Amino acid sequence: MFIVSPDKFLLEKSKSTLIDTPDEYAVAAFAPKPGLVTLNVSLGAKTLSAMRNGKFFKVYPIAVGKPATPTPTGTFKIINKQVNPGEVYGTRWMGLSKKGFGIHGTNDPGSIGKAASHGCIRMNNKDIEELFAYTNVYSTVNILP
């Protein structure tokens, strides 16, 4: 497991070790590409658009919250990142500054494009893995109706 939070890195080697700064293994494997990344989520269109330094560069299909458990709107930050967080969250998790909500993969790819989650933003695992690689902790996430 690999967890990235604003101030700690957890790497699994022969034994998990908590360290204050990333080592060259973490940087080589998970370093985001240069540039400020902003994510814009359209709940209506069920898409997540990525921008770097103010320029659009990628759009992904997503699943959003069901009417009974809607995805919150507003501006948030990514506060932590985790590899292999558990089956229902797919292969990656990026926690938002809105407690209990995040952007994650899914074990139900048929839900993408629908209002199907408990409020989180679901992505195909291959998409969240790509997004995870170039999104920083503290990246801004704008969630719009």
In the set 46, 92, 104, 122, the catalytic residue is 104
In the set 62, 94, 120, 131, the catalytic residue is 120
Strands 3-4 and 37-42: unpaired
Tell me, yes or no, if 76 is annotated catalytic: no
3-state secondary structure 50-72: EEECCEEEEEEECEEECCCCCCC
- What the block records as the tokens of 15 is 């034994």
Determine the Cα–Cα distance for residues 8 and 62; give it in Å rounded to an integer.
Answer: 29
3-state secondary structure of 126: helix
Tell me, yes or no, if 120 is annotated catalytic: yes
Active-site residues: which are they?
A: 104, 120
